[in-house]
Amino acid sequence: MLTAQQALDHLLSHAKPVAEIESVPMQATLGRVLAESVNSLVDVPPLDNTSMDGYAVRTADTQNPGSVLKIAQRIPAGSVGTELQAGTAARIFTGAPVPPGADAVVMQEDCSNLEGSTDQVQVNIAPAFGQWIRRRGEDLTAGKTALTAGTFLRPQELGVAASAGLTHLNVKRRVKVAAFFTGDELSLPGEPLKPGGIYNSNRDTLLACIKALGCDATDLGIVPDRLDATRAALRQASQDHDLIITSGGVSVGEEDHIKPAVTAEGRLDLWQIAIKPGKPLAFGAVRKSEQANDGEAWFIGLPGNPVSSFVTFLLFVRPFILKLQGREANQTQSYLMRADFDWLKADRRNEFLRVKLNNNGGLDLFPNQSSGVLTSASWGDGLVDCPPNQPIKVGDLVKYIPFDALLK
């Protein structure tokens, strides 16, 4: 049996980022992966400006609290003042450029208007040099890197690109993933259940995972437990896709056709991974045609149990996809958290338990950890990575992996 880390290392050693790059209007790049680093076109902010409503002053004029200055100019945001003369102050509003000669801003709460005078202000403090001034280029510098290659573009990255003046970004083309779901027992919601049947839940869980990672997802539907049907589905899936994901049929029973089908259409390793849920996992590739140089689509076959396929997708398929996308695919993000539960019957395998954050800063355990009970994952906020043969007692610190971090 492989450890989870060995399986992951093996997968990642094969994945190579897609090469094709597209120039896309910046507003349409949410969820895409930046292909090349981009430089800012401007300094951000473009000028020294005030972060407060108040008065721009020279600190030389305001060394003692109570200095009185003539209000010589008024600078709202979006306009530019003139050189600040000695003994004067500029009335200034948040975001407005600090005029040349001024070296501090005093917020209006620290000033008083003199009785009977509208053109004088009394400064009630001795401001520090540079106070309330946001410096030109303190956020971004013209010609310097604003966003680096491999960045997954979130709302805040789109904002950075806009502040840098960029209209288009070069992003990786989307990774194309085809999925099908094996099992004679499966029906789609809306259809009557067959005798001995069950609804196909993996379809919706896995397609949503694929889309959440920013991939194009193709649903090839339910495939019956027959070798010819499985081979035909693989041939179809290999066309125009980078990766084929399946659920079910990865054991070596008479009704499990993934291994012979992928072997006939390409190549396959069937792995036993020492994890729970999700022991069997198949990794290989499917030829796009009989022509040797037409290339292959990668293949990952997940177990059929709904929690097993979800967890193995998050632990193994996600990092593989990240690497195809050109993103950083290193260690899954985890946190040390307090277990507020006992898990005394530790397994020989590395277990991934469904848990929920509670209001006391600890983790609660879902009572039924069966790999068929998908409500455990829906109730839960994440997984506890429980090492082999290691019981957990109330109060122990455990490795917690939030689902949120894995679904992007």
Strands in 14-87 per DSSP E: 21-25, 38-39, 49-50, 54-57, 67-75
Nearer to ligand AMP, 159 or 221 (CB): 221
Which of the choices ligand AMP, Mg ion, none does residue 319 contact, using the CB cut-off of 5 to 8 A by kind? none
x/- mask, ligand AMP, residues 168-187, rule CB under 6 A, reads -------------x-x-xx-
Work out which of 127, 248, 326, 380 binds Mg ion, going by CB under 5 A: 248
**Between 7 and 26, whose beta carbon lies closer to ligand AMP?**
7
200 binds ligand AMP (CB under 6 A): yes
Query: Which residue's CB is nearer to ligand AMP, number 163 or number 201?
Result: 201
Best CA proximity match to 163, nearest among 138, 145, 139:
139
Cβ–Cβ contacts within 10 Å for residue 95, how many?
A: 14
If we measure between CA atoms, which residue out of 99, 169, 162 comes closest to residue 133? 99
Task: Tell me which amino acid residue 48 is.
Answer: D
Pick one of Mg ion, ligand AMP, none as the site partner of residue 200 (Cβ within 5 to 8 A by kind). Answer: ligand AMP
| Residue of minimal Cβ distance to Mg ion | 248
Phi, psi angle pair for 265, to nearest 5°: -100, 0
Is residue 310 within a helix (H) or strand (E), and if so which, with residue range? Answer: helix 306-312
Crossing angle for the helix pair 258-265 and 227-238, nearest 10 degrees? 50
Residue 193 gets which letter from DSSP?
A: P
190-217 residues labelled b (16+ CB within 10 A) or e (exposed): eeeeeeeeeebbbbebbbebbeebbbeb
Q: Which two tokens stand for residue 104?
A: 């501090």
SS3 236: helix
Closest approach, Cβ 387 to Mg ion, in A, equals 30
Would you say 183 or 284 has its CB closer to Mg ion? 183
Who contacts 35 (Cβ-Cβ below 8 Å, separation ≥6)? 21, 149, 170, 171, 172, 326
Asked if 248 touches ligand AMP (CB under 6 A), the answer is yes
Nearest approach, Cβ of residue 254 and Mg ion (Å): 11
**Considering the complex, what minimum distance in angstroms separates the CB of residue 308 from ligand AMP?**
8
189 CB neighbour count, 10 Å cutoff: 10
Smallest distance from ligand AMP to CB 272, Å: 14
Site string for ligand AMP, 87-116 (x = CB under 6 A): ------------------------------
Selected range binding ligand AMP among 120-128, 195-203, 227-235, 360-368, rule: CB under 6 A: 195-203
The residue from 198, 212, 264, 346 that contacts ligand AMP (CB under 6 A) is 198
Q: Which is nearer to ligand AMP, 181 or 316 (CB)?
A: 181
**Residue 337: alpha-carbon gap to chain centroid:** 21
**306, interface contact from Mg ion, ligand AMP, none, CB < 5-8 Å by kind:** ligand AMP
Site of tokens 């390793």: 269
* Closer residue to ligand AMP in complex, CB, 112/251: 251
Give helix then strand counts, H and E, for the chain: 9, 26
Answer yes or no: are the C-beta atoms of 249 and 257 closer than 8 Å. yes
- Minimum CB separation of residue 291 from Mg ion in Å reads 32
Write out the binding residues for ligand AMP, residues 306-345 only, by CB under 6 A: 306
**Contact pattern from residue 341 through residue 380 relative to ligand AMP, giving x for each residue in contact according to CB under 6 A and a dash for the rest:** ----------------------------------------
Q: Does 280 bind Mg ion (CB under 5 A)?
A: no
Candidate segments 22-30, 95-103, 261-269, 298-306, binder of ligand AMP by CB under 6 A? 298-306
Is residue 267 within a helix (H) or strand (E), and if so which, with residue range?
A: strand 266-272
Closest among 250, 375, 357 to 307, alpha carbons compared: 375
Contact partner at residue 382 from Mg ion, ligand AMP, none, CB < 5 to 8 Å by partner kind: none
* Residues contacting residue 404 through CB under 8 Å, at least 6 positions apart: 381, 382
Residues at the site binding ligand AMP, with contacts judged by CB under 6 A: 181, 183, 185-186, 198, 200-202, 247-251, 303-306
Residues at the site binding Mg ion, with contacts judged by CB under 5 A: 183, 248-249, 304
